[in-house]
Amino acid sequence: MAKITLKEIAKRLHLSPSTISKALNDSYEISEETKRKVREFAQRHNYQPNPLAKYLKLGKTNNIGVLLPNIQTSFSAQLLRYLHKSAIHNSYNFILMQSIDNEKDEERALLTLTNQGVDGILIAPVSETSNQQLLSDIHNNNCPVVIFDRIHYNLDTHKVGIDNVRSTYLATEELIKINRKNIIAFCGKNIGVTQYRLEGYRKALEDYNIPIKEENIIYIDYRKSLTKIDEGLKKIIIRHMRSNDPPNAILGTTETLTTRVLGVLADLKIQVPKEIAVIGFSNIEFANSLNPALSTVHQPTEEMASTALRLLLDLINSKRDRSQIDFQTILLETSIQLRKSTMLT
């Protein structure tokens, strides 16, 4: 806070800067007497070391960069919260960036981060191939990168996420168990994980000998305008409900789609779960407030955050040649939380 510097203290105390530095850093070389005096003076004058100078000297910033596509979901908010908690706990700060699901913004954010000086980067990439060269350059130079959430990405480093195939497999299975076999799958467009989540859906249907209707797999690109998503969903649902083989269940592969679809169904007065059962990815805390209480695939955000951060700090503090490290991909377990939207009683 205060403007006083180490040098200034030295002058006022008739000591040298190095003595002050050592005293404040509790060096064994300095007498208790002097330490006391220095500390007392520093405190009284509210001395705060200049972090830039310190980090310049030390060659690190104690900042890590966190780059998320979008912070508008409960999933992201939780991730952020726990990342923050872990970071602080390890005496790191984080600089938050958003790519808004957009390669150009992602690139800009990455440049800003490196430019700004971060000791490492945690990223959920926009797509499977976005900014590959850049990210690889960054990673292979000074600044280790750990990938989380959207782990299907071609970079040789630690990755922390969930088993997307298995998660949707289990969710789909829940629908099949209640005999809802005509299932619409709503997917985000071009998100790295989409294909894998769909794979689980397909596999489950196959395993239960249910024919896959390609027209039941629907991509919705809501990244640009969240406002139009409701209209889009509405049109599609109406069309399907009017077909001669109307669906009786919906699987949402992203939180946004899963939660939004409920509003559209309510608006269309389509009864859930009576006419259509709904299950999908969502970490929303108040699933019970939804119409109706929503069955969800829930991701372990706290574990994901702490694991990703731990791996990143390992890389930052590791002296070893980056190519010597065998990188791991950690898949955390999701949990299925059944609520009214899939309960037929």
Nearest to 95 by CA among 122, 70, 73: 122
Q: What does the alpha-carbon distance between residue 40 and residue 34 come to, in Å, rounded to a whole number?
A: 10
Residue from the set 20, 38, 67, 78 that interacts with a second copy by CB under 8 A: 78
Quick one: DSSP state of residue 245?
S
Q: For residue 19, state whether it binds DNA (rule: CB under 7 A).
A: yes
For a second copy, the closer of residues 26 and 33 by Cβ is 26
Residue from the set 61, 167, 296, 301 that interacts with a second copy by CB under 8 A: 61
Residue from the set 1, 26, 33, 286 that interacts with DNA by CB under 7 A: 33
For a second copy, the closer of residues 102 and 164 by Cβ is 102
Q: For residue 31, state whether it binds a second copy (rule: CB under 8 A).
A: no
335-337/183-188 β-pairing: unpaired
For a second copy, the closer of residues 14 and 319 by Cβ is 319
* Dihedral sign of CA atoms 173, 178, 180, 183 in order: negative
Q: For residue 25, state whether it binds a second copy (rule: CB under 8 A).
A: no
What is the chain's length? Answer: 345
Torsion of CA 230, 232, 234, 237, to 10 degrees: -130
Q: For residue 28, state whether it binds DNA (rule: CB under 7 A).
A: yes
Nearest to 95 by CA among 76, 75, 73, 110: 110
Q: Which does 231 bind (CB under 5 to 8 A by kind): a second copy, DNA, none?
A: none
Restricting to residues 256-285, name those near a second copy by CB under 8 A.
259-264, 266-267, 285
Q: What does the alpha-carbon distance between residue 43 and residue 224 come to, in Å, rounded to a whole number?
A: 51
For DNA, the closer of residues 29 and 214 by Cβ is 29
Site of interaction with DNA (CB under 7 A):
5-7, 14-19, 21-22, 24-25, 27-31, 33-34, 47-50, 53-54, 56-59
